[in-house]
């Protein structure tokens, strides 16, 4: 009897304890982390209590991905595509990221810009299951205990918004949760960061959007934004609660805060926390990378260009600051570099002594007024004669036919960046830029545009200046190398890494960025470049330093293929598990 117990009962106890999940039966299929759909093997179905709960066919993930592709091709409305794709994330996480990787060029504009903007606008209508952590001003004093409700304890990256400035759409309050969710999808898709280590957060302090305050489907607080000292106290409590629970080197990415809070909070927290603002620093890096690519075409370094920004908010100032840092690295004094950058906001040209207000963080780019100021953006172009115009105002088609033609008349190879998104907020289309400059412009956009064919048969493939080229790779390096603070120099290194990956053939086709199909490779190489800088400057905390840094990151990438819920003992041949004759 003892030998029979040892042969039968004890192995059974061992096998039950070795099953990777505590759940059995239908709960396995209801959790996106454990659900494999019809890919559960026969033994998994039998041992985990799933037998009979699924059709008898055993499917591969390849077949599941093919079923998705067949279905998505029949869905033409972008918002409905978003709902369908994100619905897969709610049911089967491994399959979700597999299909994103397989169809990155088609689906990146769906799960993030520009379609995520539509999803945020319709958040109350398309809401299915809550994703992320919702904190409100009413929770002040209890943030730590609410963080304890989040089921994953090994959080390495947090993306947080207060919903005040969602893309170019304005104050969407709690509907802004779509942005942190989308950003963290790209952490995993583009850089292979484990989704279990990612936490999206929306901080609800109210909204000044009157339409939302009257909307019965709105899901946040029905109150005006709290702009009192309680706002800062809530943010302070949140930041400290995160690092207390998850560690001092937890990455905290700020996303879509209003201009004043964005700059103020970045300055307040960046020395004491591992934090950055993607609207300021990520946008800056991807724009600078485009300019570094452009200089290979113009044979003119960025220090010899004159830049005119349409917009003077966080994106414009972030890009301008990183351009200045790049010029300083090339040997140009800071003030001389700043003098090459002008800005045009809703009040007109930014210059010293104008009657309209100038914010403290704009003063570096408020230069002495030119002899003739003018009133329009076209006037500013004709007066200043810039070699590059960069649109980040989110105000729509302000790069008019006259503006683009003027840039083409002034410059042999004009640089035209229409970076505002979503698409209807872009300053111009790719077709307008290439056509009106006869294909001479160096163009980049914030939203994707289709290839442009000119009357002479030349085809141009406009590059999208998407922050997804930057922040996933930076995050991968920061998380795995254990960085405590994120400086602007890190984003300069990321910009250089991105520009280096653009081939001459891609430049010849009009693209200043690598194709999105290479986004995983781009992110890994960006992480390597950032990591080299971190170790060289004694800013890394992961030791010993990996000799093969690319191999190090590739070995840590989260895999989308299904794992077995059963230990190796279940894979023994049938003869090995038969009882002997006793």
> 299-326: b or e for each residue (b if 16 or more CB lie within 10 Å)?
eeebbebebbbbbbbbbbbbbbbbbbbb
Dihedral of the CA atoms 63, 65, 70, 74 (nearest 10)? 150
Can you tell me the distance from the alpha carbon of 507 to that of 343, in angstroms, rounded to the nearest whole number? 28
CA distances from 519 to 21, 82, 96, 108, 298 (A): 32, 20, 17, 10, 26
CB 277 within 8 A of CB 314: yes
Q: Which residues contact 292 (CB under 8 A, 6 or more apart)?
A: 302, 326, 495, 496, 499
| Active centre residues (catalytic) | 112, 183
Can you tell me the distance from the alpha carbon of 510 to that of 44, in angstroms, rounded to the nearest whole number? 51
Distance of alpha carbon 286 from the chain centroid: 12
Can you tell me the distance from the alpha carbon of 467 to that of 278, in angstroms, rounded to the nearest whole number? 8
Query: Which DSSP string corresponds to 147-211?
Result: HTTSS-----EEEEE-SSS-TTS---GGGGGHHHHHHHHHHHHHH---GGGEEEEEEE-----HH
Angle at 511 between CA 505 and CA 517, to 5 degrees: 85
Can you tell me the distance from the alpha carbon of 294 to that of 511, in angstroms, rounded to the nearest whole number? 9
Distance of alpha carbon 579 from the chain centroid: 56
The DSSP secondary-structure symbol of 139 reads G
CB 394 within 8 A of CB 167: yes
């Amino acid at each position: 009897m003892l030998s029979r117990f040892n042969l039968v009962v004890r192995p059974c106890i061992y096998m039950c304890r070795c099953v990777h999940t505590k759940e059995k039966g239908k709960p396995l299929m209801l959790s996106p982390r454990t659900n494999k759909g019809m890919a559960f093997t026969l033994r998994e179905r039998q041992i985990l209590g799933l037998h009979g709960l699924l059709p008898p066919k055993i499917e591969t993930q390849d077949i599941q991905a093919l079923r998705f592709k067949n279905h998505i091709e029949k869905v033409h409305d972008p918002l409905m595509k978003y709902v369908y794709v994100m619905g897969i994330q709610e049911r089967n996480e491994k399959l979700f990221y597999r299909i994103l990787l397989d169809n990155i060029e088609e689906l990146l504009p769906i799960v993030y810009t520009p379609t995520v903007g539509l999803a945020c606008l319709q958040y109350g209508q398309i809401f299915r299951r809550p994703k992320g952590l919702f904190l409100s001003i009413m929770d002040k004093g209890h943030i730590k205990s609410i963080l304890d409700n989040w089921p994953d304890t090994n959080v390495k990256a947090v993306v947080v918004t207060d919903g005040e400035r969602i893309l170019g759409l304005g104050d969407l309050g709690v509907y802004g949760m779509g942005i942190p969710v989308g950003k963290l999808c790209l952490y995993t898709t583009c850089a292979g960061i484990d989704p279990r280590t990612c936490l999206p957060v929306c901080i609800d302090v109210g909204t000044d959007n009157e339409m939302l305050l009257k909307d019965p489907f709105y899901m946040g607080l029905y109150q005006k934004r709290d702009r009192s000292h309680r706002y800062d106290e809530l943010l302070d409590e949140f930041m400290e609660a995160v690092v207390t629970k998850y560690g001092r080197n937890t990455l905290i990415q700020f996303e879509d805060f209003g201009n004043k809070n964005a700059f103020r909070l970045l300055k307040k927290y960046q020395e004491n926390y591992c934090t950055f603002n993607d609207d300021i620093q990520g946008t800056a890096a991807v724009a600078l990378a485009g300019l570094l690519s452009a200089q290979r075409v113009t044979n003119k370094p960025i220090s010899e260009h004159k830049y005119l920004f349409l917009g003077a908010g966080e994106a414009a100032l972030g890009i301008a600051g990183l351009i200045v840092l790049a010029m300083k690295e090339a040997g140009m004094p800071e003030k001389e570099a700043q003098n090459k950058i002008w800005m045009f906001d809703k009040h007109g040209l930014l210059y010293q002594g104008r009657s309209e207000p100038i914010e403290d963080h704009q003063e570096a780019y408020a230069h002495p007024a030119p002899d003739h100021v003018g009133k329009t953006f076209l006037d500013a172009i004709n007066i200043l004669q810039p070699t590059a115009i960069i649109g980040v105002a989110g105000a729509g088609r302000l790069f008019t036919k006259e503006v683009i033609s003027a840039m083409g008349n002034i410059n042999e190879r004009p640089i035209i960046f229409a970076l505002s998104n979503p698409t209807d907020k872009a300053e111009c289309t790719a077709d307008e830029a290439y056509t009106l400059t006869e294909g001479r412009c160096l163009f980049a956009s914030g939203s994707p545009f289709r290839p442009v064919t000119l009357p002479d048969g030349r085809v141009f493939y406009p590059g999208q200046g998407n922050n997804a080229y930057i922040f996933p790779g930076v995050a991968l390096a920061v998380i795995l190398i254990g960085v405590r603070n994120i400086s602007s120099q890190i984003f300069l290194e990321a910009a250089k890494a991105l520009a280096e990956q653009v081939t001459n053939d891609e430049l010849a086709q009009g693209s200043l960025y690598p194709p999105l199909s290479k986004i995983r490779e781009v992110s890994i190489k960006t992480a390597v470049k950032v990591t080299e800088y971190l170790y060289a400057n004694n800013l890394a905390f992961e030791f010993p330093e990996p000799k093969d840094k690319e191999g190090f990151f590739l070995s840590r990438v989260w895999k989308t293929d299904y794992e077995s819920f059963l230990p190796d003992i279940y894979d023994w041949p049938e003869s090995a598990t038969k009882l002997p004759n006793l």
